[in-house]
Amino acid sequence: MQTKTVNTVLETIYTRRAVRKFSEQAVADDVLGQLLDAGRMAPSAFNSQPWIFRIVRNPVLIQQLSSAIGHYALKEVWKNGPRAVISAIRSMFHFVRTLRHHHPHDHVFYGAPVVIFIAGPRNSEWAPLDIGMCAQNIMLAATALGLASCPIGFGKYITHTAYYEQLKLGPDEIVYLSIAIGYAADTPPVTSRITDNVQYID
C-alpha cells in the first residue's frame, strides 16, 4: 500500500506540466479550496506560514490584468538594456517553438478561469522560498485532481498596474507569484531536464 502511495506521488510530480492553453470550464469552489489547503501544508521558516492568497475568477478582469502586466513586462525588458533584450529574444524563440500549445490571445494567464496571486510580507528573507514551496504544493494538487496549472512570475508585476489596489493588500505585503489554474485545452510534451548539474560531496 505504501509503495502504491509513493508511486502515485512520483507520478503526479512527473506528469505535472506548465500548461499555457486552458479550456473555459470553471473550477468548482470545493476543488479550489482543496488546492489552497494543499498550499497551506507547505513547510515554512519558523512555521510562519507567510502566504496570502488573492483569487481572481472574473474573466474580464483576468484579461485586463493580462494586458496590463504584459505591457509593463515589455517595458521592463527594454529598460534593463541589451542583455535583457537578448534574454527576451531567446525566450521568444522558445515561445514560437511552443506556440501551438499556447492560448491564442492571452499570453500572460493563457485563458485560465482562475488566477491565484500569492503574496507575503515585504522584505522577508524567507517568504520567497516558503511561497515557492506553497505554489508547488498547489500545482501538484491541481495535477492530482485532474486540473492544470502554470506558474506566472510576471504576476508580481501587478504591483505596478492600476489594478493592484483591488487585491487589498497591506503596505507591508507584496505579490511574489501567481498561478494560472484551470482545465487543460492542450498539454505540452515533456521537455528535457538538465542532469549534469550534480556533484556528490562524500
Question: What is the pLDDT, as a whole number, of residue 34?
Answer: 99
124-162 exposure pattern, b = at least 16 Cβ within 10 A, e = fewer: beebeebbeebbbbbbbbbbbeebbbbbbebbbbbeebe
Answer yes or no: CATH 3.40.109.10 is held by domain 18-182. yes
pLDDT of residue 70: 87
Task: List, in order, residues 6 or more apart from 168 with CB less than 8 Å away.
Answer: 54
Q: What pLDDT tens digit does each residue of the chain (202 aa) get?
A: 567 766 899 999 999 999 999 999 999 999 999 999 999 999 999 999 999 999 999 999 999 999 999 888 878 766 666 555 455 545 554 444 454 555 566 778 999 999 999 999 999 999 999 999 999 999 999 999 999 999 999 999 999 999 999 999 999 999 999 999 999 998 888 889 999 999 999 9
Q: Where are the domains of the chain?
A: 18-182
